[in-house]
Amino acid sequence: MSIKQNFTKEDFEKLKTYGKVSFKEIEEKEDSDFLNKTKKVFQQLSKKLKEIGIQISNETNLVIPQNGRVGWQNSGTFYNFIWVPFNLGNIESNIIIYIAIDHTGAEVNIGKWDSKLKNKKIERNKVEKILNQFHNRYNSIEHTSEDILNNKVNFVEDAKKLIPIYEEIINHEKGINKQNKEINNQTSDKTNINQILYGPPGTGKTYNSIEEAVKIASPKKFKDEISKIVDHEKKREAIKDEFDDLKKKARVVFITFHQSYGYEEFIEGIKPVYKSEDLKYEIKDGVFKKLCLKALGINEDDNQEKRQKKLDSIFKKSRTERKKHFESEEKYVIIVDEINRGNISKIFGELITLIEKDKRLGEDEELTTTLPYSTEEFGVPPNVYIIGTMNSADRSIALMDTALRRRFRFIEKMPETDYTKFEISDPTITKDGVEIDVSQLLKRMNDRIEFLYDRDHTIGHSYFLNLLKKDRKDQYAELCNIFQNEIIPLLQEYFYDDWEKIQIVLGDAEEQFGLTDFKSKKDKLDKYRFVRTIYPEEKKTLEEEILGFNYERIDNDKKLFEPNLLNIHPLAFRKIYEDENVYKEIKSKINNNTNDEQKHK
């Protein structure tokens, strides 16, 4: 079937006339008339291309993705072009078949979805690696504008030529994802009895560890009651109530590791005890051993004889009998917050081996040990679960014991920018008519942090949760407070007080404003910046004002930086994620103010 051609010679002339200048250049020249005409032309031509895309979807198994904008794209110093992307059926992928048309003609090809992969370095690298494996197996299909006008082009047939290799690429991508998923599942099956939730600060690691503990210790109640609660706040309240109840029953224990935490607190040790004004030393069980004994059916108030009888009854059973016994027993959980802050070898001691799933009591490779103080035979029951939390931005993470890494399943908790998951339908706040999208603001800051540093030092979503959840009289004041007391100090720690990088993250760098005369307008611009710059010439003036004399030992050639949250303008927040439009609006306000001042003079 021949595809309907709807492009005319006039269309290609328009592409040439209106496509040779980027939108950014037009905006900088402040030629709003030409900009509006350009946008209108590309909107009209995009509709024509979409008609072709629909015909291709009707005749093949390709579909235009729901989030795939058919429209104009700007390639920087090159001409603008219009394009339409395709995925295979309902399979979402960052690898696409696309048609791109500019004033010279058309290209039908397989490639990466650049706009979706923007600021996603890791995903982009994965896509490029897959495409490189296949790049010798297919060629781009190109047509001149004359071929299109003379009806010598059939875009359906072009797409059909690429579909077989495209299907192979997608299946290869799915295979990698499936393989990774299977590996994760295998890891989960093997080690989910010991797990560590890790990620940047503010990503809900402790929050999620409590929910995970309730799922493990009260699976029936969680499934039948708690999981069915729709309201997020009520569900969390129910989880916390159940968690507190489990703590009272000594089925869940919550502790925090620190530098002075040791074997004596965790397993067992000799502790001083006052009895009838006499000081004696007794062997005392630590929190983990107490929990294990509880899981073995031994209560804390059992005397030594009763305790030994229970232990003997368990260890006299065969391994198979022990395994069957524990399958019907209640589950117990210990949550170790900040697990990487403790000296793991010192705290776990010989039990670092016994906590492995296959070394637990009743398992195939069951192991027991004789404890050094009590000389009791001891093994870790399989119904005791360990959940740790770890801040990936903590510099002590690099020193974490390799033995711990091998015995735990690591579950990454990254910042979540979709606040609807927390039942927040509108993640925006408004000040003086300026709407600030907190979700987009957080995403943009994290994209920049990941580029300048790494993904382990991003900012968690929980910093803004309370701000968005509650009805506050002045949300804007609260947002300023969060930036001043939490976000900026966190960035200082991340970048070791490298203020220029902090400025880039916050959209405060001079280069981001795009002004050639930045210094002359600095005072007016400061209210749009979270971190202001003090230049050498200002520093010299301040030196005499503050010190009263010219102190030669001070280096006055360096710039100084200082936080600037007093009377900050709401556009300062918007500019973080809406770069070009907001910077243009700020420049316009500055210029208008300057003109007004000159008139008054």
Mind listing the pLDDT tens digit for each residue in 342-399? 888 889 998 988 999 889 999 989 999 999 998 888 999 999 999 999 988 875 544 5
Confidence of residue 182 (pLDDT cuts 50, 70, 90): very low
The pLDDT score that the predictor gives to residue 119 is 58
Q: Give whole-number Cα distances, 255 to 206, 261, 386, in Å.
A: 11, 10, 11
Sign of CA dihedral 357, 362, 365, 369: positive
Q: Is residue 176 pLDDT above 60, yes or no?
A: no
Strand partners, 272: 281
Tokens of 78: 């090159």
Cβ burial, residue 62 (10 Å; 0-12/13-18/19+): buried
Q: Cβ contacts of residue 261 below 8 Å, gap of 6+?
A: 342, 343, 347
Tokens of 333: 């959980």
In angstroms, rounded to a whole number, what is the distance separating the alpha carbons of residues 573 and 480?
A: 9
The pLDDT score that the predictor gives to residue 417 is 85
Cβ burial, residue 534 (10 Å; 0-12/13-18/19+): middle
Mean pLDDT of 412-433: 85
Alpha helices in 381-482 (DSSP H): 402-407, 438-452, 465-469, 475-482
In angstroms, rounded to a whole number, what is the distance separating the alpha carbons of residues 265 and 290?
A: 11
Higher pLDDT, 543 or 201: 201
- Give the closest residue to 500 by CA, choosing from 540, 455, 452: 452
Mean pLDDT of 70-78: 47
Yes or no: say if 97 and 109 are a contact pair by the CB < 8 Å rule: yes
Tokens of 226: 């708690």
The pLDDT score that the predictor gives to residue 213 is 95
Strands (E), 348-500: 369-370, 377-378, 384-391, 409-412, 428-431, 434-437
Yes or no: say if 393 and 459 are a contact pair by the CB < 8 Å rule: no
In angstroms, rounded to a whole number, what is the distance separating the alpha carbons of residues 440 and 421?
A: 15
**Residue 106, phi-psi category: left (phi > 0), alpha (psi -120 to 50), beta (remainder):** beta
In angstroms, rounded to a whole number, what is the distance separating the alpha carbons of residues 50 and 147?
A: 19
In angstroms, rounded to a whole number, what is the distance separating the alpha carbons of residues 155 and 94?
A: 22
Q: Cβ contacts of residue 172 below 8 Å, gap of 6+?
A: 130, 133, 134
Opening angle at CA 86, ends 15 and 154, nearest 5:
60
Yes or no: say if 163 and 23 are a contact pair by the CB < 8 Å rule: no
Q: Is residue 328 pLDDT above 80, yes or no?
A: yes
The pLDDT score that the predictor gives to residue 471 is 66
* HSE-up (13 A, CA, CB side) for residue 492: 12
The pLDDT score that the predictor gives to residue 247 is 94
Yes or no: say if 176 and 131 are a contact pair by the CB < 8 Å rule: no
Opening angle at CA 244, ends 242 and 247, nearest 5:
110
Instruction: Find the range with the poorest average confidence among 14-23, 293-302, 358-367.
Output: 14-23
In angstroms, rounded to a whole number, what is the distance separating the alpha carbons of residues 123 and 116?
A: 10
Q: Is residue 32 pLDDT above 80, yes or no?
A: no
In angstroms, rounded to a whole number, what is the distance separating the alpha carbons of residues 248 and 256?
A: 18
Between β-strands 332-337 and 384-391, what pairing exists: parallel, antiparallel or unpaired?
A: parallel
Q: Is residue 88 pLDDT above 90, yes or no?
A: no
In angstroms, rounded to a whole number, what is the distance separating the alpha carbons of residues 528 and 223?
A: 49
Mean pLDDT of 586-598: 67
The pLDDT score that the predictor gives to residue 120 is 63
Tokens of 565: 């949250």
The pLDDT score that the predictor gives to residue 184 is 44
In angstroms, rounded to a whole number, what is the distance separating the alpha carbons of residues 113 and 223?
A: 40
Helix (H) or strand (E) holding 221: helix 219-224
Tokens of 590: 């500055």
Q: Is residue 169 pLDDT above 90, yes or no?
A: no
Cβ burial, residue 19 (10 Å; 0-12/13-18/19+): buried
Yes or no: say if 194 and 407 are a contact pair by the CB < 8 Å rule: yes
* Contacts by residues 134-142 (CB-CB < 8 Å, ≥ 24 positions apart): 134/110, 134/165, 134/168, 134/169, 134/172, 137/165, 138/110, 138/162, 138/165, 140/107, 140/108, 140/109, 141/107, 141/108, 141/109, 142/105, 142/106, 142/107, 142/108
Confidence of residue 272 (pLDDT cuts 50, 70, 90): confident
Mean pLDDT of 531-553: 77
The pLDDT score that the predictor gives to residue 591 is 75
In angstroms, rounded to a whole number, what is the distance separating the alpha carbons of residues 366 and 320?
A: 11
Confidence of residue 209 (pLDDT cuts 50, 70, 90): very high
pTM score over 0.85 = no
Q: What is the tens place of the pLDDT at every residue in 548-577?
A: 777 777 766 777 788 888 789 999 999 999
Percent of the chain, pLDDT > 70?
85
Q: Is residue 72 pLDDT above 90, yes or no?
A: no
Between β-strands 428-431 and 434-437, what pairing exists: parallel, antiparallel or unpaired?
A: antiparallel
Confidence of residue 241 (pLDDT cuts 50, 70, 90): very high
Q: Is residue 25 pLDDT above 70, yes or no?
A: no
Mean pLDDT of 86-100: 82
Percent of the chain, pLDDT > 90?
28
Mean pLDDT, the chain, integer: 82
Q: Is residue 595 pLDDT above 70, yes or no?
A: no
The pLDDT score that the predictor gives to residue 71 is 55
Q: Is residue 482 pLDDT above 90, yes or no?
A: yes
The neighbour count for residue 232, using CB atoms within 10 Å, is 13
The pLDDT score that the predictor gives to residue 230 is 80
Q: Is residue 29 pLDDT above 70, yes or no?
A: no
Instruction: Find the range with the poorest average confidence among 318-322, 367-371, 543-547.
Output: 543-547
